[in-house]
Chains A and B, each alone.
Chain A
């Protein structure tokens, strides 16, 4: 138990569906992140939120839309995805933002396994 909870753990969706991934951290952290991990590939950083403000976007396609309503919750809204978007989506948090004293200690959730048909 890392204090970061992701739901759902598994999701299967069609290319025309709209779904959302949810992440909640119970650690009182101030920064949250979305990573994508495809099969046999390194983790790819997608989005960074510091104090609820999005500070980084790694040129992610617009079919992925993040939302951070407060410092404890992070969503990833999905629509009109492609089969190549099938991957493990990982949420992480850190006590401090990276440009605000964080030394690289990230707390990850268990991930949401997404399959796009």
Chain B
């Protein structure tokens, strides 16, 4: 199973950059790395997905080193509305015997942004 490990919580001030690192030492060749954001009492929302190197969209950037055993979600200039739990999920085309673990979320990282 591609287990993921993230920090439990991170605090930041408005306008700062927040970087959340996820460890996935057992990532498989076909696995992609996907990050989600979840607000209280809502479903997780897709933020960004990548396979290697760097991916950037209008919301965040995702940095993946060459060995792909970790990934870092970067949120530039956070605001109060970025206070949420952030999850990384490792998944991809798999054999049926290990597909279950690819859909399992970890504990996530609670990010709190204060003025």
Task: Please determine whether A99 and B49 come into contact, CB atoms closer than 8 angstroms.
Answer: no
Task: Please determine whether A110 and B42 come into contact, CB atoms closer than 8 angstroms.
Answer: yes
Task: Please determine whether A99 and B96 come into contact, CB atoms closer than 8 angstroms.
Answer: yes
The answer to the question of A74 belonging to the interface, with a C-beta cut-off of 8 Å to chain B, is no
- Segment 56-113 of B: residues with Cβ below 8 Å from A: 87, 89-96, 99-100, 102-108
A107 touching B93 in the complex, CB below 8 Å, given contacts A42-B106, A56-B99:
no
Q: Count CB-based A-B contacts (< 8 Å).
A: 83
A100 touching B93 in the complex, CB below 8 Å, given contacts A56-B100, A88-B41, A92-B43:
yes
A103 touching B49 in the complex, CB below 8 Å, given contacts A45-B104, A98-B102:
yes
| A91–B92 CA distance with the chains assembled, in angstroms | 20
- Segment 73-117 of A: residues with Cβ below 8 Å from B: 88, 90-92, 98-111, 113
Q: Which of B45, B91, B107, B108 contacts A104 (CB 8 A)?
A: B91
Q: Which of A2, A45, A107, A111 contacts B103 (CB 8 A)?
A: A45
Question: B44's closest neighbor in chain A, by CB?
Answer: A108
A-B contact pairs, 12 of them (CB 8 A): A56-B103, A88-B41, A98-B102, A100-B93, A103-B34, A103-B49, A103-B91, A103-B92, A104-B89, A104-B92, A106-B103, A108-B44
Residues of B bordering A, CB below 8 Å? 31-34, 36, 41-46, 49, 87, 89-96, 99-100, 102-108
The 7 nearest A-B residue pairs measured at CB: A104-B91, A108-B43, A103-B32, A104-B34, A43-B105, A99-B99, A98-B99
Residues of A bordering B, CB below 8 Å? 2, 4, 33, 35, 42-43, 45, 48, 55-56, 58, 88, 90-92, 98-111, 113
